[in-house]
Amino acid sequence: MRIRTIAGWVMATAMTVAALSALGQEEGPILLPKPKPVAKLAGSKLLIMCDMACNWKLDGEAKGRIEAGGSAMANVVLGQHVVAAATLDGLDKVEDEIEVKSAVQMIVHLALQPVRDARFKAEQEARDKADQEAREKAAQEVRDKAAREEHDKEQKQREQAAQERQEREQTERERAAQAEAAGLVWADLATGLMWTRNDNGSAVNWHQATDYCRNLQLGGYSNWRLPTIDELRRIYDANVKVGNFHVKGNLQLSGWEWSNSQGEYSDQAWLLIFKFNTAKWVSFSLGNRSHFFRALCVRRFGE
């Protein structure tokens, strides 16, 4: 019984081997694919040189320190790269973008000194500008102070002058009131003019009328003068009549009044006639002495 079992196993094994042999003869041996070799990237070398002691980077990666005038070597692949350097204090930086196109070694010069020089120059210019602005500000403050002092001085002088003017005007009013009460003058407050109450009362030419007013001493005043034609016109009043004349201030007139205004010609002067219902003025020669030409004198308050 055991011998048959062994014989059956041998037979089965022989049949399996035969089948496998037949199968291999029909399809051939089974081959596995070979792995592909890894392509080696083409590259080059960079020689990095720096004119100052610096810390440098390649494509953002720190590479260490280069002494002033020294150099460093780096292997790179072909393509774009960024080489950067900074001074040891970190204040000055430079960056250079390069393209490696072949396996030939490239030299990269990193120039930090011009960057530092430019910074020093900009800082110096900024200091100079600040100093200049400070000097200008100080000078302006001096000018402003002087201007304020001058303004204050002028203001004080104006106030003092105004006070003195008020005092003079007050004194003038008191004197004018006394002279007016005595019947010597009339003060026209509307125009600030003071008139003699009477004209000279006799015939005079223009030169004599001028001298009369210039030499007149009346009411404590000595600065009398002939009026202008416009000043004479302002005391004419058609609604008022004093004697035969239409004049304000109750002035006592006796004829036509000379003015200090040039007439129609250079050798003439205007006279104003207060006798008619409308003011009339006529031009006569300076030397003309008619029996009705008079001198009425005027002065301004405060003069």
pLDDT in tens, 95-137: 999 999 999 999 999 999 999 999 999 999 999 999 999 999 9
Angle at 291 between CA 285 and CA 292, to 5 degrees: 85
Q: What is the pLDDT of residue 170?
A: 79
CATH tag, 185-300: 3.10.100
β-bridge partners, 87: 54
CA 4 – CA 233 distance, rounded (Å): 174
CA 90 – CA 86 distance, rounded (Å): 6
Phi and psi (nearest 5°) for 201? Answer: 85, 5
Phi and psi (nearest 5°) for 72? Answer: -145, 155
Share of the chain above pLDDT 70, in %: 86
Helix (H) or strand (E) holding 140: helix 113-181
Of the pLDDT bands very low, low, confident and very high (cuts 50, 70, 90), residue 11 is low
Angle at 234 between CA 233 and CA 236, to 5 degrees: 65
β-bridge partners, 285: 268
For the chain, domain boundaries: 43-116, 185-300
Q: What is the per-residue pLDDT across 36-70, written as a single tens digit (0 to 9) for each?
A: 554 455 789 999 999 999 999 999 999 999 999 89
Amino acid at 235: I
Q: What is the per-residue pLDDT across 144-155, written as a single tens digit (0 to 9) for each?
A: 999 999 999 999
CA 303 – CA 297 distance, rounded (Å): 14
Amino acid at 67: E
Check whether 205 has a pLDDT greater than 60: yes
Neighbour-count burial of 112, counting CB atoms closer than 10 A to its CB (0-12 exposed, 13-18 middle, 19+ buried): buried
- Ranges of beta strands (E only) in the chain are 43-50, 54-58, 61-66, 71-77, 79-87, 93-100, 106-110, 185-188, 193-196, 256-262, 268-273, 280-285, 293-294, 298-300
**Residue 119, Ramachandran bin (φ over 0: left; ψ between -120 and 50: alpha; else beta):** alpha
Looking at CATH, the fold of the domain delimited by 43-116 is given as Immunoglobulin-like (2.60.40)
Determine the average pLDDT of the residues in 80-100: 95
Nearest-Å Rg of the Cα atoms of the chain is 61
Interstrand relation of 93-100 and 79-87 (parallel, antiparallel or unpaired): antiparallel
Check whether 264 has a pLDDT greater than 90: yes
CA 99 – CA 215 distance, rounded (Å): 108
Check whether 199 has a pLDDT greater than 60: yes
Q: What is the DSSP string of 182-245?
A: TTSEEEETTTTEEEESB---S---HHHHHHHHHT--BTTB---BPPPHHHHHHTB-TT--BTTB
Cβ burial 73-94 (10 Å sphere, 16+ → b, else e): ebebeeeebebbbbbeeeebeb
Length of the chain: 303
